[in-house]
Amino acid sequence: MKIKEIIVVEGKDDTTAIKRALDADTIETNGSSIGDAVIEQVRLAQEKRGVIIFTDPDYPGERIRNIVSSKVPGCKHAFLPKAEARPKNGRGIGVEHASTEAIRLALKEAQVLKEIFQEEISPQDLMDCGLIGGAGSKARREKLGIKLRIGYTNGKQLYNRLNMFQIPKEDFIQAMREIIQEEHDA
């Protein structure tokens, strides 16, 4: 499987994991202090082939994602659920720990953030579904992020990400029905 876009990752271990999963080129940020040279590489890659940002599902990974996407608009975004980014020993979190299947799926479902969108999901919808401001809301957000493949977020980030990716309200409702049913069955 060959990926046309160039994948932005955090480091060489991520590159190794991606190359084990498929044929792809990467740009490594080497941490969250992203220099101008790296940003220029990403800009050129975006112009020539397109870019997929694929960082770890943690705070530093989100920071890198935000820096790159704010300086290079139009990049696609791939997300891994935290559970798929943990090693067998349970220490650490990162793309480098994901299975080849999880990496392939995340890259296959990469999405472009939309800057112009019609808001469909409201903050009240998030409250009504128990995604913000209540006991168990963090766990529900994590499950929703996995089902919709948009990554884990806090409440404010969830609202923004649902709308930036233009997640249709019916997809949001269906995912929440599944989550509630799973909770009921547990």
Ordered per-residue pLDDT tens for the chain, 186 residues: 688 899 999 999 999 999 999 999 999 998 778 889 999 999 999 999 999 999 999 889 989 998 999 899 889 999 998 888 888 877 888 999 999 999 998 998 887 654 444 457 888 889 989 999 888 999 999 999 999 988 888 888 898 888 778 888 888 999 999 998 998 887
Q: In the prediction, which pLDDT does 119 show?
A: 55
Contact 45, 60 (CB under 8 A): no
Question: Which residue reads 């998030």 in tokens?
Answer: 126
Inter-CA distances, 175 with 37, 69, 95, 167, Å: 41, 27, 25, 11
Of 74, 69, 70, 66, the closest CA to residue 49 belongs to 74
- pTM of the complete model beyond 0.75: no
**C-alpha to C-alpha distance for 50 and 48, rounded to whole angstroms:** 6
Give the CA count within 13 Å in the CB-facing half-sphere of 25.
11
- N- to C-terminal Cα distance for the chain? 38
Q: In the prediction, which pLDDT does 115 show?
A: 47
Q: In the prediction, which pLDDT does 116 show?
A: 41
What is the per-residue burial (b if ≥16 Cβ within 10 Å, else e) of 1-26? eebebbbbbbbeebbebbeebeebeb
Residues ≥6 apart with Cβ < 8 Å to 183: none
Q: In the prediction, which pLDDT does 112 show?
A: 64
